[in-house]
Amino acid sequence: MQQKIIILDFGSQTTQLIGRRVRELDTFCEILPYNKYPEDDSDVIGVILSGSPYSVHDPEAFKVNLDRFMGRLPVLGICYGAQFISHALGGKVEKADSREYGRAHLDTVNTENPLFCGFDNGSQVWMSHGDTITAIPDGFECIASTTDVKYAAYSNTALGRGVWAVQFHPEVFHTVQGTLLLRNFIVGICGSRQDWSAASFVDTTVAELKAELGDDRVILGLSGGVDSSVAAVLLNRAIGKNLTCIFVDHGMLRKNEFRDVMHDYECLGLNVVGVDASEKFFADLAGVTDPEQKRKIIGRDFVEVFNAEAKKITGAKWLAQGTIYPDRIESLNITGKVIKSHHNVGGLPKEMHLSLCEPLKWLFKDEVRRVGRQLGMPEHLITRHPFPGPGLAVRILGDITPEKVRILQDADDIYIRGLRDYKVRLSGEEARKVLAAGVPAEMTDGEIEVSLYDQIWQAGTVLLSTVRSVGVMGDERTYEHPVALRAVTSTDAMTADWAHLPYDFMAKVSNEIINKVRGVNRVCYDISSKPPSTIEWE
């Protein structure tokens, strides 16, 4: 039976990050809304309670019946989870004199407690809470403190399988020994066999796909991105030529992307039908400036083109998609209500009469990349940044024309190639972030060398086609378009910070774009974070 950690989500922005950290310990986990604890938990080896934007004293605060699992299974409460456990069991939680946010250090830590085995005194942790625990329940003991937080961690090892709680966030990189704490809980306390890995996932999933699909024909829509590409290679390993992939070129892909990706797919042995439908998309988008209308037209046209090609494949019974775990989590809030329909979880067109196959539905993005490496896929396909389904159409402000797409493709090509070619050396926290994301790099003297492209989550160029600016080139006046460069760092795209790119890199790229791309005479850099901005401009 597959072992599993349950993470109950109380609304924290870092709940997905907890899940990723558990998976990095080769242990399967499932993130569930706080009120959706499973009736059958025979495969569960431990429970983690996440943080929350609420105070335990708020009338609308999320609450869970701890009797469902406490005493039978090991429990770890994080931030709000720690405060909720204390509050529910008779401890005391009060508003802190000031919000406790940022780096702190464990001045005292009980390293004999199994949760802190191997910890250093003075270990750095990350706090983020407005309330603080001022008294812990009877039978519990304090096992770690900081200068300002007496009950930074507490536990009761005699209560059933044990209860542990920390007011800091072990899942974030700023907590230097956070991975060790989670390892102590997941492996040492819960007894994980650590048998969840890319290799085991491939073996298990291929066997399951063979059993489920048999000799059925499967259709998969390829985007050129990592998720659909890994799903295609995984399915190809399971059912071979019974898989037909359809790759639609809507004319707004990156420069030479359709040609290059088709070549990659052929090298991987995939049965791919390439469809150049750019004329249809450009015709239907003519004169359209509203971003939402652009998206709807592209989505409608894509379905029409895909359906027309799918009808040519006789006997198809399944539609495969590259849906990954965050797609499904982001489509529900913690009350189980739909808050947005993701492009991969919105259902199938009724007229297709196909069953849905989602071989990656339990994987995070970094796990998808590890599976891709396990399958022997080329690194440049695996490390590709996320790219919007509507393509460059939502990176052109204003109406779409082939000439505007050409300008943006040329500028974006210079930018992306520059990011790939520029190497940086990282150490400490920054190096750990990149390595944890699965980027292949070797540590030498405490440092790694990676490209700027591998250091950031997503990058792209935006054409401000509704704006013109005055410039001077060759002693002549120009009146052309500006472009904006965008690069962000993130772990899951739900929040993102603008990337601090080196000035010499930005100067070189700006100069090259202005000199080589006809139609551009100004380059800007977007320093907006998400929230309040979004990663894409439209």
The closest of 49, 67, 46, 158 to 113, measured between CA atoms, is 158
Strand (E) or helix (H) holding 112: none
Of the listed 24, 29, 79, 309, which one is catalytic? 79
CA 153 from chain center: how many Å?
Answer: 29
Cα 375 from Cα 198, distance rounded (Å): 9
Q: 497-498 and 476-489 as β-strands: parallel, antiparallel, unpaired?
A: antiparallel
CA R_g for the chain: 25
CA neighbours within 13 Å on the CB side: how many for 69? 28
Residue 79 annotated as catalytic: yes
Q: Is 169 a catalytic residue?
A: yes
Q: Which residues contact 238 (CB under 8 A, 6 or more apart)?
A: 205, 206, 209, 210, 213
d(CA 348, CA 369): 26
Spot the catalytic one: 169, 190, 245, 250.
169
How many CB atoms lie under 10 A from the CB of residue 27?
24
CA distance 496 to 28: 26
Structure tokens belonging to residue 265: 């797919």
Q: How far is CA 448 from CA 256, 429, 442, in A?
A: 31, 12, 6
CA separation for the pair 155, 176 (Å, rounded): 21
Q: Which residues of 419-443 are buried (b: 16+ CB within 10 A; e: fewer)?
A: beebebebeeebbbebbebbbeeee
Strands of 4-61 (E only): list them.
Answer: 4-9, 29-33, 44-49
Strands (E) in 412-468, as ranges, are 423-427, 447-451, 458-463
Residue 394's closest CA among 298, 481, 317? 298
Is residue 171 annotated as part of the catalytic site, yes or no?
Answer: yes
Helix H or strand E encompassing 183: helix 178-183
| Cβ atoms within 10 Å of 58's Cβ, excluding its own | 11
Q: How far apart are CA 63 and CA 84, in angstroms?
A: 8
Which pairing describes strands 153-156 and 163-166: parallel, antiparallel, or unpaired? Answer: antiparallel
Catalytic residue among 24, 100, 129, 171: 171
Instruction: Decide if 232 contacts 243 (C-beta within 8 A).
Output: yes
Which one-letter DSSP state was computed for residue 498?
Answer: E
Name the β-bridge partners of 450.
424
Q: Are 14 and 359 in contact (CB under 8 A)?
A: no
Residues acting as catalytic residues: 79, 169, 171
